[in-house]
Each structure stands twice: as C-alpha cells, then as structure tokens.
C-alpha cells in the first residue's frame, strides 16, 4: 500500500490529537483511503515536552523548513496558530506543491482571499474543517451535503468559551466573572481571551462559513462584532422570564440587499433549535431554500474532536494526492467579494436595559426618544427601587431599524439620569 | 459547459421536488459542478397529473426502458418506491454504465448487499443520501466528515411519522389514535403505515447507517424491531414525571461482542441531545472515538429536504461522470457481514407497565418473578384504583439483562391477575 507522507508544523493540543488518532485509527483509515497516512516529520519550537504519545525523536525538528522543503512530503498540517509565521508556512507549502490542512481560523479569515488564490494558482487545496465547529463536519456539509441549496441563513454558536459562560450563568445564575474563571480552568479558552469574549473568534469562523455558503468572499472588517462582557446575570434572568435564552450568535443572512453578517449576544426563543445547545457544545443552524432547517451540533474544541476534523481533511487531501486530481469540490469563493447589506436597514426586536437614576419622568423621557425614532415599545419591566438609586429600566421593543435604534441609544445615554451606556440585545425571530 | 443527462424514474413528491430544485437552483449548481444537470427524460405510470411544475411533454414517458436503454443518459434517479420493480431498474441502470441515485431505503436495506456488489462490479455508484434523514447530509457525514473515526454509537430519530405522534402525545397529552390521525393528514406518512408505526422504516434506515459506520453489512432480519403502537398517553405522563422523554430510536452500538442493532421506543433523559427533537424533525446522534458526541438534525421528509439530498447526490455522481473516476469515497461495506452481538447479553434499565387486576399480592408475585431473574426494582408507581379493577403496576428496574427481562415478562404475563401483556420500555443511559 502506498504511503502518503505528512509534515506537522505546530505540535500543541490538536497536533497531539492528530498524532494519536492517526496511530489508533490507522487500520481503519488505511482501509478507507487505500493508502497509509504517515507523519514523517513534526516541527515545533518545543520538541522536549511530554505530550503523552511516543514519537521517534528522529522525526522531530525545530525547523519547519525541513518539512516545507522536503519534496517527499505531500501534505502539510499547519497548526501553529502563530499569526506572524503561519501564513508563510502555508504559502511555502502550496508553492512546493503540497496540500495544506489547517485549523487556523484567524489567519484564514484575515488572509484567506490571498491564500485560497495562491492555492488555486498552485493547483492545490487548503482544507480547514477543523477551523470551524471543532469536530462538526460543517464545512463538508456546506461544501457538499447541502451544495444544491441556496443557503439563506446561518446561525452559529461557534465559540465554546462564551457558550460555556452564558450556559453557566443561565443554568446556575452565577456571575459573568465566576463563569469566566471556570471557563479558563477548562482549558478550552483561546490564549488571547478577548478573541473569545469580544466575539472576534466567532467572527473569524463566520467569515469562513459565509464565504463558503454565500458564494463570495466576506470581508472580516465589515462584520459587526459585539461580545458578551456586558451581559449580566440580571439580563439572563429577565429575558428567561420572557421565554428567551441569550446566546452569542454568529449570524449570516442572505437578504435582498446583500448579506447581513453579525456577531452579537442574541435572544432566541426557548423553542429555537439552538436554545438547548449548552456548555462547550457548538452548533450551526442552517436554512437552505430546499433543505429547510438543519442543526449540526458537536464538541467545538478539544484534542479529540478537532483531530477528527483534521484527519478527515487529511484523508480527502490524500485522495487528491492518490488520484492526481486536486480539484476541491464546492471550494470557497475568492474571485468576487460578497455583497453586503447596509447595516442600518436591518430590522429586529430589541431588549434594552438602561441603568437610570430613579427619578420621576425618566421613563417618559426614554419613551419619547424611542417614539421619535419610530421605535415602539412592546413591554416595560422596571424592577424595584435600589439603595444606590440606580434602577434598570428594561424594555422590549417591537421590530425596529438598526439605524434608528443606534441613534436612540445614543440619545438615551446622553440623558442626565442615565449613568452608564444602555445595553441592548437583539432578538432573533 | 458540458451537459450531464439525467433520467428520472418515479415522479412523485420527491421527484417533483428534484425537478423544481434543478430548475430553480440551476445557475448555482452549474457553477459548483462545472456542468449542467439536465433531466432529459421522466418515466412514471401517471404522466398526466399536474405536479405544479412545467415539463415539456416530449420528455415524459410511461416506459422506464427509454431511460435505462438510452446511452446518452449518465445518471438515473430511482424514486418509484416500487418494491417489485425498483431493484431491476437499478440493476439495469448499473449494467448500462449509469450512476444511480435513489431514496429507496426499503430496497437498499433488503437487497443492498447484492445491489452495491453489482455497482462495484460495474464500476458505478449507488448514492442514497435521501434514503436516511431526508435533507440531513448524514450519509456524507459518516462517509467523509467523520471517516477518520471509529463510530461507536448511533442513535437515530429517523422516522418523522412516529416522532410526530410521540411529540404530539407528549406536548399536548393527546391519545395515540388522535395523534396518528393528525400525522396521516400531514402527508408525511408512508403509504403502508405499518412501516412507520412498527419501526420497520427506522430499521431499514438503521441498516444503512450501521453498514456504513461499522464496516460490515448489517442483516435487516437480525435487527430487533418494536413499534410505538402500545405506547399510551399514560406511559408518557408517568415517564415524564421521572425525567424521561419517549422516542422511537434506531440504535446501533459497537460492543466488544459485536454490533447491537435495535429499533424500539426508548426512554431518554430530558437532558439528552435527542430529547428536544420534536415533530417531523429527524435527528441522528453519533459518537465517534475522536469526534465525541454529535447531533445532526433536520427535516426528515418532504419534497424540499429530500430533493436537496437527491440533488447533492446528483452533483457528486456528476463529478464522477466528469472526471471518469467512479470511486466513491467511504463506500458501504458489502464484502463482509457485520458481526452482531448476542441479543440476550444487552443490559439496560427498564420501565414496565403491567395491567393487573387489583388484588392483594399481585405486586409481590411480580416482584418475586423479577427477583428470580436477578432484576432489581428501582421504584414502583402504582396508580389509584379503577372501576374496572385493572390497575397498572408501573416499575422502573435497575440495569438488567435482556434475556432475563424477556423471561420475566413472559412469566408475568402468565399470572392470572395479568390480563394483557406487560409493556416494557428500555432506557438509553
């Protein structure tokens, strides 16, 4: 049986999982692929640490060029997560005629257009199943399983850390801070926590999903991004009473005016398929013009699930090597940019919490501002008085335009009685 | 751009959906495939009925041989569901060098071994994404997305009719009969209702999933099958109080002793990922040795979703036609039979409802029988007295062996006080 040689650059958690998987499931993979996948070299800055898996010292190196310049290596797995060097590794691999498998969502979201073009120029593929949703084969599903559909809507819970935090706050009423500290201990969090908490990691993944599903490259800089750091246990309790769960959603929708791409905390009904996706689970909800509603749920991170995704890519990349046909079906669109919808036009219902001094007339002033913006109030919840005199005014609005809402929120935050910026959470209906 | 000619045999609901989809999404499909998919002939016994889609009368025929013998046709879609003739259509198509796309789960479950062998002999593929889970790309997910895994467990809600009935009974407390009558009106039910209600349709689909995931052909005749006709509103209410939902599950598990394949009503915890899969939704829950827990949920039937699955297969079959390489990745195993675990060895907890005459000593006699079989009782719920004097004795057991449970149930049903056979529902922990 033919051997396909693989070079691994970046030997962290996922890389270790891949080494273990290729060993443990090797018989099964060889049978399915019709060839052996062999890791012939591993490059990492740290080649001393014990990863719990035995590897011949002769294949370890600190020098990635020993992989990139080895003509015997057919596939390069790039798992460094190094923002400065990973792009170069991928470019060099492609130019050397190698297939590339990566989980580097930040790099692909930022520089994917250039990288995928370079792949095409070199007639090689960049495979990135592991970049979105961990072990969930969502890239495959969009690329092939649902490819006969015009996908109209993507709603993703695609960051495990924030979903863990919101789930813990919801299920046990603990504070954001306490839940965050638990999440950090779990080991799933990104090194740079702000990528998780501020929604940036979700935005990276959304760029990949939308570019794949909507047939044009989505510009990361044009995705509206808002994280979960302002969500309080209070917001969760109030909205739960109204039948909602708060989730950090990555949203991609095809509208008549173009694609609407956003990441923000979102209220979804308790009856929505995504509302029961808790803890470190990830899920992607898709609507297609024929496939209708679909939900793909699984572990969004961790050694095993992410290694499963990398290995599926390795098998597909290996099939290309065997057949000599490097055409990737349903490949991502980089030739043209995805047309985006004007932000201000988007309409949805809103939950608004306004921290205001408890004085007569506050609610009237707020209501006036909203009314002037043509935003009608569906319900008002004002909780009891507090010692400090700050009482949150809590409102649910009917559908209102984004532009009007932003103006109104700005005006409300300028009221003398309003001591800190109002929080609004959009409702996904 | 090259044209790939398709012949459609069987122009019912799904066939109509496929014709509509290929028309409406044609630009998108041609762009993704790099060729046009053209339905060049449609064969059906009824070519008069208005299907709500315009088709040139010149392509309609009552004679499938005009498709099967047309050397210009590359792909045959078999959607007749005709048990007597569909197998022949597929064989003829394969022998004529055509790719086959079908949704005929009954045929594949019964004769798949022969048909897939014939496909291999002719170097062509049988694609069957639409045979399981409607629009859910679960076949693709197992074949490719998760192919680096040893899949250890499959739990499927893969029959929409029975899930609709159980969901309605659970959510609104209506009777089996009332829910059944609603389901029939919805139009999702199989022509032969017993295929749905007795679990046979689920067993057909389980055979396909298990044969694909477990690396050997699963014999339909060796799947234990039990339907939902004995489930009462009472069972649903009692078990809900204990934290369970009743679902008709298709279960496939790899055990040390072989594969365990069953279809039966099953109690799952309210916290299980499958418990919130309601109505006509289908879902397949998988565990892989690296991918961990995954859930794939979507519409399991209907014109649109099933057409989406057929069309994805058409694109893949079309890629083969274009490349001339007919190797199907991750193809189903027919060379060897799947080794099955002995039925009697399986262990699980049970819910048992025994319709008994309300006389002193009944519970003691039942408990004695269970004790003799080494089955220990976890809890007993005996509801209030009834006018007729028949009171259900309701028990939850601890884990017990299947063989012991079957013997005990037989002995219990022979008790003088027990007027009709006991109902037991297995717990999936």
What CATH number should be reported for the domain holding residue B33? 3.40.50.720
> Would residue A337 count as lying in a domain?
no
**Same domain (yes/no): B281, B413:** no
Residue B382 has pLDDT above 70, yes or no: no
Rg, Å, chain B Cα set: 24
Q: What does the block give as tokens for A158?
A: 């695609």
The residues, ordered by sequence, that sit 6+ positions from A352 with a Cβ below 8 Å of its Cβ are A393, A394, A395, A396, A397, A409, A422, A423, A424
DSSP element (H, E) containing B214: helix B200-214
In angstroms, the Cα distances linking A315 to A33, A138, A140, A300, B291 are 6, 16, 13, 21, 15
> Can you name the residues that pair with A283 across neighbouring β-strands?
A157, A297
> Would residue B174 count as lying in a domain?
yes
**Same domain (yes/no): A315, A391:** no
Chain B residue with CA closest to A147: the answer is B312
Residue-wise pLDDT for A354-399, tens only, equals 999 888 889 999 999 999 999 999 999 866 666 567 888 999 999 9
**Of all residues in chain B, what percent are helix, strand and coil, respectively (each to 5)?**
40, 25, 35
**Same domain (yes/no): A281, A313:** no
Number of structural domains, chain B? 3
Contact status, residue A149 vs residue A214, Cβ threshold 8 Å: no
**Same domain (yes/no): A150, A59:** no
Contacts of B291 in chain A (CB under 8 A): 135, 298-299, 304-305, 308-309
Strand B151-157 versus strand B224-225 pairing type: unpaired
How open is the CA angle A331-A334-A336, to the nearest 5 degrees?
125
The whole-number pLDDT of residue B381 equals 82
- Half-sphere exposure (CA, 13 Å, Cβ side) for A279? 8
DSSP summary character for residue B199: S
Q: What does the block give as tokens for B58?
A: 């010149």
Contacts of B326 in chain A (CB under 8 A): none
**Same domain (yes/no): B266, B155:** yes
Which of these three, B323, B358, B389, is where a domain ends?
B323
Q: What is the CATH number of the domain that holds B242?
A: 3.30.360.10
Chain B residue with CA closest to A18: the answer is B290
Q: What does the block give as tokens for A178?
A: 């306490």
Contact status, residue A87 vs residue A9, Cβ threshold 8 Å: no
Q: What does the block give as tokens for B67?
A: 């498709």
Please answer yes or no on whether B323 and A319 come within 8 Å at the CB atom. Answer: no
**Same domain (yes/no): A201, A57:** no
> Would residue B337 count as lying in a domain?
no
- pTM reported for the whole predicted model: 0.95
What mean pLDDT is predicted for residues B157-180? Answer: 95
The residues, ordered by sequence, that sit 6+ positions from A276 with a Cβ below 8 Å of its Cβ are B273, B276
Please answer yes or no on whether A144 and B140 come within 8 Å at the CB atom. Answer: yes
Residue B311 has pLDDT above 90, yes or no: yes
Q: What is the CATH number of the domain that holds A401?
A: 3.30.70.260
In the three-class reduction of DSSP (H, G, I as helix; E, B as strand; rest coil), residue A408 is classed as helix
Which of these three, A264, A290, A323, is where a domain ends?
A323
**Same domain (yes/no): A373, A271:** no
**Same domain (yes/no): A120, A170:** no
Please answer yes or no on whether B145 and A146 come within 8 Å at the CB atom. Answer: no
Contact status, residue A136 vs residue A296, Cβ threshold 8 Å: yes
**Same domain (yes/no): A132, A250:** no
Strand A244-255 versus strand A151-157 pairing type: antiparallel
Give the residue numbers spanning the domain of B386.
344-427
* Residues of A involved in catalysis: 205
- Listed by number, the residues of chain A in 194-253 with a beta carbon closer than 8 Å to a beta carbon of chain B are 215
In angstroms, the Cα distances linking A134 to A168, A280, A358, B65, B293 are 21, 11, 47, 47, 11
pLDDT by position in tens, chain A (length 429): 999 999 999 999 999 999 999 999 999 999 999 999 999 999 999 999 999 999 999 999 999 999 999 999 999 999 998 989 999 999 999 999 999 999 999 999 999 999 999 999 999 999 999 999 999 999 999 999 999 999 999 999 999 999 999 999 999 999 999 999 998 887 777 778 999 999 999 999 999 999 999 999 999 999 999 999 999 999 999 999 999 999 999 999 999 999 999 999 999 999 999 999 999 899 999 999 999 999 999 999 889 999 999 999 999 999 999 999 887 767 888 889 999 999 998 999 999 999 998 888 899 999 999 999 999 999 998 666 665 678 889 999 999 999 999 999 999 999 999 989 999 999 999
The residues, ordered by sequence, that sit 6+ positions from B410 with a Cβ below 8 Å of its Cβ are none
In angstroms, the Cα distances linking A33 to A23, A76, A98, A326, A409 are 15, 17, 18, 16, 57
Residue-wise pLDDT for A324-351, tens only, equals 988 776 788 888 999 999 999 899 999 9
Strand A350-357 versus strand A400-401 pairing type: unpaired
> Would residue B69 count as lying in a domain?
yes
DSSP element (H, E) containing B400: strand B400-401
DSSP summary character for residue A222: G
Ramachandran angles phi, psi of B337, nearest 5°: -85, 145
**Same domain (yes/no): B212, B242:** yes
**Same domain (yes/no): B121, B174:** no
The whole-number pLDDT of residue B390 equals 82
The whole-number pLDDT of residue A20 equals 98
> Would residue B170 count as lying in a domain?
yes
Contact status, residue A311 vs residue A29, Cβ threshold 8 Å: yes
Ramachandran assignment for A292, one of left (phi > 0), alpha (psi -120 to 50 degrees), beta (any other): left
Q: What number of other Cβ atoms are within 10 A of residue A325's Cβ?
A: 14
> Would residue A334 count as lying in a domain?
no
**Same domain (yes/no): B98, B11:** yes
Contact status, residue A423 vs residue A352, Cβ threshold 8 Å: yes
Quickly state the pLDDT bin for B338 (edges 50, 70, 90): very high
Contacts of A295 in chain B (CB under 8 A): 283, 295-298
In angstroms, the Cα distances linking A412 to A115, A354, A374, A399, A418 are 45, 8, 14, 18, 7
- CA-closest candidate to residue A146, choices B291, B313, B142, B20: B313
> Would residue A329 count as lying in a domain?
no
Catalytic hit among B5, B98, B205, B253: B205
> Would residue B330 count as lying in a domain?
no
Distance from CA of B375 to the nearest CA of A (A): 35
DSSP E strands in A221-372: the ranges are 224-225, 244-255, 258-269, 281-288, 292-299, 347-348, 350-357
């Amino acid at each position: 049986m033919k051997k396909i040689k693989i070079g691994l650059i970046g030997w962290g958690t996922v890389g270790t999982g891949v080494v273990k998987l290729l060993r443990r499931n090797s018989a099964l993979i060889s049978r399915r692929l019709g060839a052996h996948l062999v890791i012939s070299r591993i490059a990492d800055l740290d080649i001393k640490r014990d990863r719990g898996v035995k590897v011949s010292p002769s294949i370890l190196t600190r020098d990635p060029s020993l992989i990139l310049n080895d003509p015997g290596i057919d596939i390069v797995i790039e798992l460094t997560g190094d923002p400065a060097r990973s792009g170069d590794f991928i470019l060099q691999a492609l130019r050397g005629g190698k297939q590339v498998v990566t989980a580097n969502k930040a790099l692909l979201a930022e520089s994917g257009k250039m990288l995928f073009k370079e792949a095409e120029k070199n007639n090689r593929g960049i495979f990135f199943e592991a970049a979105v949703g961990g072990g969930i084969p969502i890239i495959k599903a969009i690329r092939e399983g649902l490819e006969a559909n015009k996908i109209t809507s993507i709603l993703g819970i695609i960051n495990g850390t924030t979903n863990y935090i919101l789930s813990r706050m919801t299920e046990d009423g603990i504070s954001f801070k306490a839940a965050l500290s638990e999440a950090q201990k779990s080991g799933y969090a990104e090194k740079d926590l702000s990528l998780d908490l501020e929604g940036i990691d979700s935005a990276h993944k959304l760029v990949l999903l939308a570019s794949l599903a909507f047939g044009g490259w989505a510009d990361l800089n044009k995705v509206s991004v808002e994280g979960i750091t302002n969500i309080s246990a209070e917001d969760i309790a109030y909205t739960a009473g109204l039948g909602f769960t708060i989730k950090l959603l990555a949203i991609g929708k095809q509208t008549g005016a173009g694609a609407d791409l956003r990441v923000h905390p979102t209220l979804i009904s308790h009856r929505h398929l995504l509302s029961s996706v808790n803890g470190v689970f990830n899920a992607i909800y898709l609507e297609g013009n024929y496939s209708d509603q679909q939900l793909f749920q699984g572990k969004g991170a961790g050694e095993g699930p992410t290694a499963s995704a990398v290995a599926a890519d390795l098998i597909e990349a290996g099939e290309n090597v065997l057949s000599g046909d490097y055409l990737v079906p349903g490949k991502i669109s980089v030739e043209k940019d995805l047309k985006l919808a004007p932000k201000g036009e988007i309409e949805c219902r809103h939950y608004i919490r306004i921290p205001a001094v408890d004085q007569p007339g506050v609610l009237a002033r707020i209501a006036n501002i909203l009314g002037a913006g043509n935003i009608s109030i569906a319900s008002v919840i004002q909780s009891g008085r507090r010692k400090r005199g700050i009482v949150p005014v809590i409102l649910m609005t009917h559908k209102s335009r984004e532009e009007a809402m932003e103006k109104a929120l700005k005006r409300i935050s300028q009221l003398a009685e309003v001591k800190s910026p109002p929080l609004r959470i959009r409702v996904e209906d």
